[in-house]
Amino acid sequence: MMRSWLNIGWCLSLILLTACVEEYELPVTAKGEGLLVVDGSLYVEAGTAEVKLTRSQRLESKGAAKGEVGATVWIEHGTNNKISLVERAPGLYKAAGLNVVYGTEYRLRIKTKAGLEYMSTQMAATPTPPIDAITWGVEGDLVNIRVSTHDPTSKTRYYRWEFEETFAYAAPYVTANILGADGKMRLRTPDDSVYQLCYRYNPSSAILVGASSKLAEDVVNNFRLTSINGNSEKLALRYSMLVRQYAISQAEFDFWQILRKNTEEVGSLFDSQPSQVRGNITNRNAPADPVLGFFSVKSMVTKRFFLDKTQLQPYAFKFTPDCFFQEIPLIDGALDQNFINDFIALRYVQVDRRDPIDNLPSEGIAWMVRYGCVDCRDAGGTGKKPSFW
Partner 1 sequence: MKKYLFFFACLLALGSFSVQQSLAQTSPSKGITGSFAGVSFQEFVRQAEAQTGYRFYFNPAQTDSLSVTLSAANQPLPAVLEQLFKNTPYRFGIDQDQRVFIIKGEELQAQLPSDFLNSGANNGGSDEEFPGYFSKNSAKTASVGSETKLYEIGLKTNKITPGTATLRGKVLDAKTGEAVIGAVVMIESPLTAVNTDENGVYALALPKGRHTLIIRSIGRRETKRQIMLYSDGRLSVDLSSHVVTLGEVLVSGNRARNVTSTALGVTKLDISTIKQVPTAFGEADVLKVMLTLPGVKSVGESSTGLNVRGGAADQNLILFNDATIFNPSHLFGFFSAFNPDIVKGIELYKSSMPAKYGGRLASVLDITSREGNKQKFSGAGGIGLIASRLTLEGPIIKDKTSFIIGGRTSYSDWLLKQLPNSNLNRSKASFYDLNVGLHHAPNDNNTISVTGYFSKDAFKLASDTLYEYQNQSLALKWGHVFQENLYGTVTGAFSGYNYRVTSSNNEVNAFKLAYRQEQFSLKTDFVYNLNLAHTIDLGASTMLHQLNPGTFSPLGEASLVAPDKLAKEQGLESALYLSDTYEVTPRLSVTAGIRYSFFTYLGPKTVLTYAPDVPKDENTVAETNTYGSADVIKTYHGPEYRASARFSFTESASVKVGYNRTRQYLHMLTNSAMISPTDIWKLSDSHIQPQLGDQYALGFFKNFKNNIVETSLEVYYKTMQHLLDYKSGAQLLLNHHIETDVINSKGKAYGVEAMVKKTEGKLNGWLSYTYSKSLLQSDGQDFEEKVNGGVYYPSNFDQPHSLNLVSNYRFSRRISASANFVYSSGRPITFPLGIYELGGGKRIFYSDRNQFRVPDYYRADVALNLEGGHKAKKLAHSSWSLSVYNVTGRKNPYSIYFKSEEGVVKGYKLSVFGRPIPTVTYNFKF
Under rule CB under 8 A, which residues in 35-64 are in contact with partner 1?
A: 35, 37, 39, 52, 54-62, 64
Q: Which amino acid is at 250?
A: Q
Q: Nearer to partner 1 by C-beta: 287 or 333?
A: 287
Q: Nearer to partner 1 by C-beta: 58 or 354?
A: 58
C-beta separation of 225 from 208 below 8 A: yes
C-beta of 186: minimal distance to partner 1 in Å?
33
Measured between alpha carbons, how far is residue 166 from residues 240, 294, 306 in Å? 5, 27, 9
271 binds partner 1 (CB under 8 A): yes
Q: Can you name the residues that pair with 226 across neighbouring β-strands?
A: 145
138 binds partner 1 (CB under 8 A): no
Q: Nearer to partner 1 by C-beta: 26 or 331?
A: 26
Q: Which amino acid is at 58?
A: R
Distance, CA of 180 to CA of 178 (rounded, Å): 6
261 binds partner 1 (CB under 8 A): yes
Largest Cα–Cα distance of the chain, in whole Å? 84
C-beta of 61: minimal distance to partner 1 in Å?
6
Q: Which of residues 4-23 bind partner 1 (CB under 8 A)?
A: 4-23
C-beta of 294: minimal distance to partner 1 in Å?
7
Q: How many CB atoms lie within 10 A of CB 43?
A: 20
Cβ neighbors of 297 (< 8 A, separation 6 or more) are: 41, 42, 44, 100, 106, 123, 124, 125
Q: Which of residues 110-129 bind partner 1 (CB under 8 A)?
A: none
310 binds partner 1 (CB under 8 A): no
Q: Identify the burial level of 40 via C-beta atoms within 10 angstroms of its C-beta, where 0-12 means exposed, 13-18 middle and 19 or more buried.
A: buried
Q: Which of residues 152-171 bind partner 1 (CB under 8 A)?
A: 157, 162
User: Which x/- pattern, by CB under 8 A, does the window 202-241 give for partner 1?
Assistant: -xxxxx-----xx---------------------------
Piece of the chain touching partner 1 by CB under 8 A; list 69-77, 180-188, 222-230, 285-293: 285-293
Would you give the DSSP letter of residue 255? H
